[in-house]
Amino acid sequence: MRKYKSDLLESVRRAIMVRHYSIRTEQAYIHWIRRYIFFINKQHPSTCGLKKLRIS
């Protein structure tokens, strides 16, 4: 049964479940992933360009 509409979020959820992380960890990861997606204006990271993304 799918919990999220997004394939990305669903795959993160499954990966967290396989590693036996807590439900609160899943919620925190999903929260930060969603915030990042909105931060980059719902663009795919490969289309953002290096100047827009700062990876440290």
CATH at 21 = 1.10.150.130
On whether residue 2 sits in a domain, the answer given is no
Is residue 30 assigned to a domain? Answer: yes
Torsion sign across C-alpha atoms 15, 1, 25, 36: positive
Model pTM? 0.67
d(CA 15, CA 11) in angstroms, rounded, equals 6
Whether residue 27 is contained in a domain is answered as: yes
In the numeric block, the tokens 């719902």 are attached to 42
Q: Determine the structural domain holding residue 38 and report its residue range.
A: 7-48
Q: What pLDDT, in 10s, does the model give residues 11-52?
A: 888 999 999 999 999 999 999 988 988 887 776 666 666 555
In a domain, 54, yes or no: no
